[in-house]
Structure 1
Amino acid sequence: MSKSKPLAIVAGVAVAAALLGVVSYTATKPASPGASGSSAVAEVSADPSAGVYAELEAYARRDASDKLAAGRADAPVVLIEYADFKCGYCGKFARDTEPVLMKKYVENGTLRIEWRNFPIFGEESEAVARASWAAGQQGRFWQFHKAAYAEGAKEKGFAKDRLAALAEEAGVPDAARFAKDTDGAAAREAVRTDQEQGYSLGATSTPSFLVNGRPIAGAQPLETFTEAIEAAAKAAAAKEKGKGESPEAGHGTAKPGAGR
């Protein structure tokens, strides 16, 4: 992301800030069985354009060299996750929901997941965020992510020795480089950039998400994410189809060479 946003997306960001900003920490609690409904931010409509703010799609970096992302850079759907390794509900999402999304949508090229470090619980949150970035520089971000979100991991804390142990568990090959990178200026800048992006959205709790410009707050049920992803994929396919249709014909005739 650049340091300043184009003025054209300010209105969309303000809307998202209004949506995400009103969500309290309790909104990160998954909906209980039989609940009448979750936060309006997380509600998904059958209409693929409902609750979508096209300006916010610009938050997706789609950088093929991004080591804190999974999936094709040109995937039709991008889920951006703002999370803290000390957040219990982030851990629940990481253990219960994210692996399903990886298997169902990332592996077939539909979905890209882009991680944003959004540490909000103090110094240890900041330290483990930097450590995750450092692990990513050696190609082991998602392995570190899994280890740091394992059941009971956050209860052990994220002191320096624990970060080293997590890196070893994640298979980070160069421990000395990992330690240096964790405490380095590049890691601090990367985490700060992610934080600023989250705060610019008005996110005040973790986890918070964007799915092709649709805000979702909290570790919502799996169905919330699958419906949002499928709606976004449907909208992306319709948009792509529209690019390949002749405006003159008016009956779906494709232009020569149009489309993928």
Structure 2
Amino acid sequence: MPTPKAPSPKPSFRKPLLYGTGVVLAAALLGYASYRATAPDRSASDSSYVAEVTADPDAGVYPELAELARRDPGDKLAQGRADAPVVLIEYADFKCGYCGKFARDTESALVKKYVGNGTLRIEWRNFPIFGAESEAAARAAWAAGQQGRFWQFHAAAYAEGVKEKGFGKARLKALAQQAGVADLDRFARDADSSAASAAVSKDQEQGYGIGATSTPSFLINGRPIAGAQSMEVFTQAIDAAADRARNTKDAKGADK
């Protein structure tokens, strides 16, 4: 979960968005967790910083953050039912090694365990923080999504050893081809378009607005989690969120 040496977003990106006072607190929590988890003097065995902050299944849930879930059935950068009881929002960068580890080791398992049965929806947010190639990869991923191949591009870009080869234009085109993008000319146009830049900027602004300072960062029904945590941390958070959603639905039904 690396932190960039010198990110250069627009100044407004760095201010927590005023969704509510709870979001300011959540932003501080997520930023602190990100810092502790990426501190340079952290020993290899001391991996508990973020997990400790988020260990209580009933703590650290912010309704304002839960409202950031778009639940748009036409969202090409999401998978899972729009009405799923749990939404995991992921803020990530294709040049981030920890993001790749999460994608390969944990996200794929979460898809198998929860997305298929309708419990979980995953919504991607492009959060490029490592410079020009990060931005280019984010726009390319969005462009692949316009042809319905975002998750295939995601898998290709996060494959072992890919980020070390860089994300120049030729490499991005090759990854799009590998992902099964049908119209590569359109892909190139879309990746260079103002629409791609606007979509990436919107995601990035949201990420900085909730206090994310490193990648990957997550929200699970309004609960912040920083870093490529273990499968156990994610299953605990998802199960707790599903239980809360079910209890809320039952309570509303009883009131009718």
Residues 40 and 146 of structure 1: is their aligned pair in 2 closer, same or farther, counting only changes over 3 Å? closer
Q: Which amino acid aligns with 1:21?
A: G
| Partner residue in 2 for 1:168 | 177
| Partner residue in 2 for 1:56 | 65
Q: Report deviation, 1:138.
A: 0.1
| Partner residue in 2 for 1:224 | 233
Q: Which amino acid aligns with 1:211?
A: I
2: distance between equivalents of 1:35 and 1:28?
11
Q: Report deviation, 1:43.
A: 2.3
- Confirm whether residue 77 of structure 1 aligns to residue 86 of structure 2: yes
The question of whether the paired residues in 1 share the 8 Å contact of 2:92 and 2:215 is answered with yes
Runs of 4+, deviation exceeding 4 Å: 31-36
Instruction: Choose from 98, 123, 126 the match for 1:89.
Output: 98
SS of residue matched to 1:215: strand
2: distance between equivalents of 1:32 and 1:144?
34
1: distance between equivalents of 2:38 and 2:73?
30
1: distance between equivalents of 2:199 and 2:45?
41
| Partner residue in 1 for 2:129 | 120
| Partner residue in 2 for 1:140 | 149
Structure 1, 35-44 or 74-83: larger mean CA deviation: 35-44
SS of residue matched to 2:33: coil
2: distance between equivalents of 1:41 and 1:166?
37
Structure with the higher helix share, 1 or 2: 2
Identity rate of aligned residues, in percent? 69
Q: State which structure, 1 or 2, has the greater radius of gyration over its C-alpha atoms.
A: 1
Residues 41 and 127 of structure 1: is their aligned pair in 2 closer, same or farther, counting only changes over 3 Å? farther
- Confirm whether residue 68 of structure 1 aligns to residue 68 of structure 2: no
| Partner residue in 2 for 1:18 | 28
Q: Which amino acid aligns with 1:191?
A: V
2: distance between equivalents of 1:32 and 1:180?
45
SS of residue matched to 1:113: strand
What are the ranges of 5 or more consecutive residues in structure 2 without an aligned counterpart?
1-15
| Aligned length in residues | 239
What are the ranges of 5 or more consecutive residues in structure 1 without an aligned counterpart?
247-254, 256-260
Q: Report deviation, 1:33.
A: 8.3
- Confirm whether residue 43 of structure 1 aligns to residue 72 of structure 2: no
Instruction: Choose from 208, 212, 224 the match for 1:199.
Output: 208
Deviation digits for residues 96-130 of structure 1, max 9, x if unmatched?
00000000000000000000000000000000000
- Per the normalisation by structure 1, the TM-score is 0.87
- Confirm whether residue 104 of structure 1 aligns to residue 152 of structure 2: no
Structure 1, 68-77 or 34-43: larger mean CA deviation: 34-43
1: distance between equivalents of 2:163 and 2:35?
18
SS of residue matched to 1:89: helix
2: distance between equivalents of 1:153 and 1:40?
28
Residues 174 and 42 of structure 1: is their aligned pair in 2 closer, same or farther, counting only changes over 3 Å? farther
Q: Report deviation, 1:34.
A: 6.0
